[in-house]
Structure 1
C-alpha cells in the first residue's frame, strides 16, 4: 500500500530542458562561446545547477574551476525565464489531482535549488499539490545521498515501506536504493544512458498511467 508519493521535478513532472538550454546558451554567449544543442544540455541535467554549469563549460573547453561568474550569469538568466518554455508532461496535472483526491500525501525532492523549484512550481500552479518541497540546496547534501529523500518522507509523516519515489534518472534510482524506498521510473525523461543493475519497482512510459499503477497495483 502506497500512502506517500515523492516526485523528482526536472525530467519527471516538467520538461524544463528548453529553458535550461536557453539560460546556458546566454551564459556561454556572455563568456565568448557558441551555443550548445538541447540534447547535450539534457545529458547535463540531474546533479544540480552547479554541475550543469560545470558540464557546459567543460563542453566548450573552458576551465570550470573559476565557476563564480558563469554560475551567476546562468542563475540570472534562468530566474527570468523559468517557465517561458517549460511545461508539465502530458498527464501530470491529472495524475497529481487524482493522487491527492485519493488521499495520498505528495512531496517534491529535486536537485534544483529550492527557490527556483518553488518558483517554477508556483508559476505552473502545481505547488498546491505538495506538502513539502525540498531543493538541492535545502540540506548540506543532495541526491543521490539518501538524506534529502528521507527528510521529505519524514516531513510528510510517511514511512519508507509506504512511500514511492518517482524519477527519471540514475541519480533518482541510486537515491531510492540507498534510502530503502520503492522507485517508479519515468521512461520519458532525461536519462540517456543505461543504468547498471537497473531494477525499478515500476516503469511508466506516460505519467497518465502512473495513478492507475499506484492505486490499482494488481492491474
Structure 2
C-alpha cells in the first residue's frame, strides 16, 4: 500500500520551538532560585511532556514529585505568555506541506506538547494547510511512544496505519510509529541526534523537508 497520509510531530519537526521552550523553563527555574540551562540542553529535555521536562531539568538534590508538579504548572503559565516570541517554522516546511497537499496526501499533527499549545502553534504558524486532526497531550490519553493517539489519528482519517509515513525528530517519534504500524521517518534538522533516531528504528532519515517529497514520490 502506498502512502496516503503523513503524521507529523510538531516541536523539532515542523516548528523550531526550542528557544521559547528553553526560555520559559529557565524562567520557572530562576524564579525558584534553581540553576538554569543552556538552550541546547533542552534538546534532550523536551519531547516527552512537561513533567518529564522538569524531571530532567531539576537538580537531583531537590527533585521531588511535588516540585516537578509545581514547576510544570508554572511552566504552563509562563509559556502561555511567550510561546510565540521566537518560534518559527523550519525552512522548507511550507514547501513540504504544499507538496503533500498537491499530491492529495492527508496531513495531521501529533505532539506530546499540551493540547491547547499544540493547537495554538498550528493555528499561528501552519494555518494555511489542512492539518487535521491536530492533537497534543490530553487528559486520559497516554503520551507517545504509546501508539494510542497515533492510532486515533488513523481511525479519524479512516486510513490504515500502514499507509502512513510518520515524520518526527526524536526516538520517541520513531518508537511511536513502529508501535502504531506506521513507517518512521527521522527528521535530522530537529532536536535529537541521528544515532538516537537510528537506534529507535527509523526506516529512513532525511536532512531537509524537501527530501520527504522525494521519498514519497519513490514509493
Match of 2:213 in 1: 211
**CA RMSD for the aligned pairs?**
1.8
Match of 1:12 in 2: 13
Structure 1 alignment gaps of length 5 or more? none
Displacement of 1:192 in angstroms is 3.5
Runs of 4+ aligned structure 1 residues displaced above 6 Å come to none
Rate the CA distance shift 1:159–1:139 in 2: closer, same or farther, 3 A.
Answer: farther
Counterparts of 1:8 and 1:209, CA distance in 2:
16
Q: Give the alignment's TM-score, normalised by structure 2.
A: 0.92
Match of 2:69 in 1: 68
Given that 1:108 and 1:130 are in contact with CA atoms closer than 8 Å, whether structure 2 keeps it comes out as yes
Counterparts of 2:179 and 2:19, CA distance in 1:
31
Match of 2:89 in 1: 88
Structure 1 residue 171 and structure 2 residue 172: aligned?
yes
Match of 1:184 in 2: 185
Counterparts of 1:117 and 1:127, CA distance in 2:
16
Given that 2:6 and 2:107 are in contact with CA atoms closer than 8 Å, whether structure 1 keeps it comes out as yes
Rate the CA distance shift 1:127–1:41 in 2: closer, same or farther, 3 A.
Answer: farther
Displacement of 1:10 in angstroms is 0.6
Structure 2 alignment gaps of length 5 or more? none
Given that 1:109 and 1:133 are in contact with CA atoms closer than 8 Å, whether structure 2 keeps it comes out as yes
Counterparts of 1:161 and 1:125, CA distance in 2:
26
Aligned residues: 216
Q: Give the alignment's TM-score, normalised by structure 1.
A: 0.92
Displacement of 1:193 in angstroms is 7.3
Rate the CA distance shift 1:89–1:151 in 2: closer, same or farther, 3 A.
Answer: same
